[in-house]
Amino acid sequence: MSNGLLKGKRGIIFGALDENSIAWKVAERVYEEGGRFVLTNAPIALRMGAINQLSEKCEAPLIPADATNNEDLNNLFIESVDKLGGKLDFVLHSIGMSPNVRKNKHYTDLNHEWYHKTLDVSAMSFHRVLTAAWKNDSMNDWGSMLALTYIAAQRVFPDYNDMADAKSMLESIARSFGYHYGKEKKVRVNTISQSPTPTTAGKGVKGFDQFIAYADQISPMGNADATACADYCVAMFSDLTRYITMQNLFHDGGFSSTGVSAEVLDKM
Ligand SMILES: NC(=O)c1ccc[n+]([C@@H]2O[C@H](COP(=O)([O-])OP(=O)(O)OC[C@H]3O[C@@H](n4cnc5c(N)ncnc54)[C@H](O)[C@@H]3O)[C@@H](O)[C@H]2O)c1
């Protein structure tokens, strides 16, 4: 299905690791809609190799960049504008990682060095990306920059651990930088708060299977999957959403507005 919504648009997609990644589905849908882009990930993730298939399929150059490294990000934006033949219209930040979650550290006993790492990789990296694009004047007017987040930024999901703090910060960065991008460059900056989705990062959260089943039963429409999230990203990159900015947009089948559902009550 293509409506040519992104025909002539250029961008960068961060975070496609394997075919389950949300960024992978976004890349496929953006390509279908006529968008052209550079794919990027941390050098170590690129070495795993799966992304080469996606790069071929979408005719997308691959440029490694560690999202916690300003020099990598500056190079990425300069090279992307060069390779794609002009300034950019969209950026997807689809990056998350917590050493504390990986190593099963409880929230009351966090390793604070790792906590720094969680915040840097999962939140401050968005500030770094927005800064690199700003300083290199890489975005076209009416461009769109998006990051993916989760409702643990607003409500407690205990096993989401320090990632909850990172997501709160990420959403705040979208608002704060969105103000300046709106004023100076007519570029919008938003976060999409996605349903739990079975990906490498998602499945790393303790109790993920129960977590996803619970969300599915609370949400009147059920969980939104990665393909539906990709559709929403396409809409947010298109010219149909030009005045939406500094928002956290729930894409969750109604989960965020529901207190309890008949299915969950029946289990009590
Ligand atoms: N899966 C879910 O349930 C869910 C729900 C809501 C939001 N999200 C968010 O969606 C985004 C994408 O996650 P996903 O679920 O597709 O998982 P994923 O594991 O496929 O993607 C995470 C990506 O982050 C990249 N990354 C990690 N460290 C990096 C660094 N230093 N520099 C550059 N890239 C780095 C990884 O290589 C990987 O490609 C994340 O922000 C995640 O928090 C996921």
Give, using CA atoms, the residue closest to atom 1 of ligand 1: 202
Q: Mutation test of ligand 1: which of 29, 51, 66, 148 has the most ligand atoms closer than 8 Å to its C-beta?
A: 148
The pLDDT value recorded for residue 114 is 98
Ligand 1 pocket check for 21: Cβ under 6 Å: yes
Report if residue 178 sits inside a domain.
yes
- Mean pLDDT over residues 208-228, rounded? 96
Report if residue 258 sits inside a domain.
yes
7's tokens: 């025909």
The pLDDT value recorded for residue 95 is 98
Q: What is the mean pLDDT of the chain?
A: 97
Query: What's the gap in Å between 259 CA and the centre of ligand 1?
Result: 28
Ligand 1 pocket check for 68: Cβ under 6 Å: yes
- Comparing CA positions, the residue from 8, 24, 14, 147 lying closest to residue 89 is 8
138: amino acid identity, one letter? S
The pLDDT value recorded for residue 257 is 98
Q: Is residue 47 a contact partner of residue 66, using CB atoms and an 8 Å limit?
A: no
Helices (H), 22-98: 22-32, 43-47, 51-57, 70-84
The pLDDT value recorded for residue 49 is 80
**Could you report the per-residue pLDDT of 124-143, keeping only the tens digit for each?**
999 999 999 999 999 999 99
Question: How many whole angstroms separate alpha carbon 253 and alpha carbon 215?
Answer: 9
Residue 11: in which H helix or E strand, if any?
Answer: strand 10-14
Q: Mutation test of ligand 1: which of 12, 18, 20, 22 has the most ligand atoms closer than 8 Å to its C-beta?
A: 22
The pLDDT value recorded for residue 248 is 98
Report if residue 164 sits inside a domain.
yes
Report if residue 2 sits inside a domain.
no
**Could you report the per-residue pLDDT of 108-118, keeping only the tens digit for each?**
999 999 999 99
Question: How many whole angstroms separate alpha carbon 214 and alpha carbon 153?
Answer: 18
Whether the per-residue pLDDT at 123 is higher than 90: the answer is yes
Give, using CA atoms, the residue closest to atom 22 of ligand 1: 95
What does the DSSP 8-state code read for residue 195? Answer: P
Domain at 171, CATH number:
3.40.50.720
Shortest-distance atom of ligand 1 to CA 200 = 19
Q: Mutation test of ligand 1: which of 14, 19, 21, 29 has the most ligand atoms closer than 8 Å to its C-beta?
A: 21
Query: What's the gap in Å between 266 CA and the centre of ligand 1?
Result: 34
Question: How many whole angstroms separate alpha carbon 49 and alpha carbon 15?
Answer: 13
Residues 137-172: b if buried by 16+ CB within 10 A, e if exposed: ebbbeebbbbbbbbbbbeeebebbbbbbbbbebbbb
Report if residue 1 sits inside a domain.
no
Ligand 1 pocket check for 224: Cβ under 6 Å: no
Query: What's the gap in Å between 93 CA and the centre of ligand 1?
Result: 9
Number of structural domains, the chain? 1
Report if residue 3 sits inside a domain.
no
The boundaries of the domain holding residue 82 are 10-266
Per-position DSSP letters for 122-177, written without gaps between them: IIIHHHHHHHHHHHTT-EEEEEEEEEEE-GGGTS--GGGTTHHHHHHHHHHHHHHH
**Could you report the per-residue pLDDT of 151-198, keeping only the tens digit for each?**
999 999 999 999 999 999 999 999 999 999 999 999 999 999 999 999
Question: How many whole angstroms separate alpha carbon 235 and alpha carbon 134?
Answer: 23
263's tokens: 């299915």
User: What pTM did the predictor assign?
Assistant: 0.98
38 forms bridges with which residues in the sheet? 12
Question: How many whole angstroms separate alpha carbon 38 and alpha carbon 138?
Answer: 13
Whether the per-residue pLDDT at 1 is higher than 80: the answer is no
Report if residue 66 sits inside a domain.
yes
Query: What's the gap in Å between 14 CA and the centre of ligand 1?
Result: 9
Whether the per-residue pLDDT at 203 is higher than 90: the answer is no
Report if residue 5 sits inside a domain.
no
